[in-house]
Amino acid sequence: DARVTQTPRDKVTEMGQEVTMRCQPILGHNTVFWYRQTMMQGLELLAYFRNRAPLDDSGMPKDRFSAEMPDATLATLKIQPSEPRDSAVYFCASAAQRSRISPLHFGNGTRLTVT
């Protein structure tokens, strides 16, 4: 079964430190999403890429978050500097953009705790 792979699975860090989360989308999928999930807010879209180009990153705090796709097999989400309010589960998802109704395939997330 093809799946989206995210690393690390868990990350505990101190406030002010840089955090990098990685995602390997399903081979052949040309759209990649970054979501954040908290108990209070549910799933929030942070960024969206199609064919490696960022199409929408309006959900990200621009001063500290950045998202990139160095190549088709890797997407990264960086937080610098991290803050306790960034504690959440970060999900990457990919989709094959053959139509407007292709399902999103999610990884199992990176659980980030900032102390």
* Residues within the interface to other proteins (CB under 8 A): 4, 31, 33, 42-43, 45, 48, 55-56, 91, 93, 95, 97, 100-109
The C-alpha atoms of residue 46 and residue 36 are separated, in whole angstroms, by 7
Please identify, using beta-carbon distances, which residue of 24 and 109 lies nearer to other proteins.
Answer: 109
Residue 7 has φ and ψ, to the nearest 5°, of: -140, 150
Residue 20 Cβ vs other proteins, minimum distance, rounded to whole Å: 19
**Which residues make beta-bridge pairs with 1?**
none
Please identify, using beta-carbon distances, which residue of 17 and 108 lies nearer to other proteins.
Answer: 108
**Which residues make beta-bridge pairs with 33?**
48, 93
Please identify, using beta-carbon distances, which residue of 88 and 93 lies nearer to other proteins.
Answer: 93
